[in-house]
Amino acid sequence: ARFVRDLPKLELHAHLNGSIRRSTLLSLAASHGIDPSSAQILTRWPSTLSEAFSVFTVIHSCVTTLSDVERIAFEVGEDMASDGVVYAEIRSTPRAMEGGSLDDYVRAVLRGFGRYRLTSGVEGVVLRLILSIDRAKHTAADAQDIVDLATAHRLAGVVGIDLSGDPTKGEFLTFLPALQRARSLGLKITLHAGEVANTDTEMSAMLDFHPDRFGHCCFVSDDNLKRLTQSRVPIELCLTSNLLSNSVGSAEEHHFGLHHANGTVCCISTDDSGVFGSPLSNEFALVMDAFALDERQAFELAKRTLEAVFLPTSDPGTEATEEERRDWSVR
Ligand code: 5GP
């Protein structure tokens, strides 16, 4: 346990609201008069993906103000640092809330990160933000707005765009124009893919798009699996999330084994540590145990994740807008 805690880890797939501290969720629920025992799902872990989505609905009904959002962002920094995470790309779906626009939401998250950074000691975690498009709730125009928001806040730490939300709803192709524009603006892109069965056509279209990372990929046909391996696109893998939501039968059967053996960059991640109750150190322990990795191999695994980070490799000024360039020169 000590080894996985001390291992310097990178977290590349964590949803902000899904990473809410349980104690914070319970106290926000109480302040909204939501009885956790009546909302049964708050007192046990979900056992299907659709149940996990019911938990997000409850979380969203508890997290209703910009200061709640800022608090969660701050606490995620604290929790990750205490778990030995050194770098994290946290993703979140901008939501309009009491007295706030989508832009205010993004600012609240970034304020939480900034406040965490100010109070953290030498062992702090570096935090970056990915903005999520919700495939079930957003329109093509909403997705374009999210790309605009990401572009506007790039210098403040937004590094990319994610496509997530209920995988049984919405169409990848609806969001393709926004994703293509995001790419042309220099934003990196990660796509939730193959979370449910019978999504081969969508997976083929996603492979044609060639994102910078994929998430999950639990249900992939043999043909697409071949293309996925050849594409060399890194995959974010969340074992506990897949096991609890019944997408994968056991840790030993998890597709990590296959991708790791194929040389694909596997980014071990938590998904929603507040919903599934497993911090990143525990995910590493699970992988080491199920696939008999020794400490050196676990180090190698954590280190290879670095190849998949969305931090810009070149001077961000080269792809910046005029306005950003002005900001930049002020620094
Ligand atoms: P938020 O974006 O509000 O910070 O985090 C919660 C949201 O992340 C959920 O409402 C959902 O849209 C997305 N999310 C969290 N976990 C998963 C997951 O396992 N699969 C998918 N497709 N989306 C998820």
Are 122 and 152 spatial neighbours (Cβ–Cβ below 8 Å)?
no
Q: What is the pLDDT of residue 184?
A: 97
Q: What is the pLDDT of residue 45?
A: 83
Give the separation between CA 114 and CA 60, rounded to whole angstroms. Answer: 23
Output the six-digit token pair for 263.
Answer: 């040389």
Ligand 1 neighbour 269 (Cβ under 6 A) = no
C-alpha torsion angle, residues 282, 288, 291, 297 (rounded to 10): 140
Ligand 1 neighbour 19 (Cβ under 6 A) = no
Ligand 1 neighbour 165 (Cβ under 6 A) = yes
- 70, 75, 89, 195: the active-site residue: 195
Kindly report the protein residue whose alpha carbon is nearest to atom 11 of ligand 1.
Answer: 165
Q: What is the 3-state secondary structure (H, E, C) of the chain?
A: CHHHHHCCEEEEEEECHHHCCHHHHHHHHHHCCCCCCCCHHHCCCCCCHHHHHHHHHHHHHHCCCHHHHHHHHHHHHHHHHHCCEEEEEEEECCCCECCECHHHHHHHHHHHHHHHHHHCCCCCCEEEEEEEEECCCCCHHHHHHHHHHHHHCHHHCEEEEEEECCCCCCCHHHHHHHHHHHHHCCCEEEEEECCCCCCHHHHHHHHHHCCCEEEECCCCCHHHHHHHHHHCCCEEECHHHHHHCCCCCCHHHCCHHHHHHHCCCEEECCECHHHHCCCHHHHHHHHHHHCCCCHHHHHHHHHHHHHHCCCCCCCHHHHCCHHHHHHHHHC
Total domain count for the chain? 1
Alpha carbon of 166 to ligand 1 centroid (Å): 8
Q: Residue 155 is part of which domain span?
A: 2-330
C-alpha distances out from residue 57 to 60, 152, 191, 260, 302, Å: 5, 28, 21, 34, 32
Q: Domain containing 325 — which CATH number?
A: 3.20.20.140
C-alpha torsion angle, residues 141, 143, 146, 150 (rounded to 10): -120
Alpha carbon of 230 to ligand 1 centroid (Å): 28
- Check if the interface score ipTM surpasses 0.95: yes
Output the six-digit token pair for 25.
Answer: 């969720």
Alpha carbon of 234 to ligand 1 centroid (Å): 20
Per-residue pLDDT for the chain (331 aa), expressed as one digit of tens each? 899 999 999 999 999 999 999 999 999 998 888 876 655 566 778 888 888 898 999 999 999 999 999 999 999 999 999 999 999 999 999 999 988 999 999 999 999 999 999 988 767 899 999 999 999 999 999 999 999 999 999 999 999 999 999 999 999 999 999 999 999 999 999 999 999 999 999 999 999 999 999 999 999 999 999 999 999 999 999 999 999 999 999 999 999 999 999 999 999 999 999 999 999 999 999 999 999 999 999 999 999 999 999 998 765 444 555 554 444 433 3
Ligand 1 neighbour 236 (Cβ under 6 A) = no
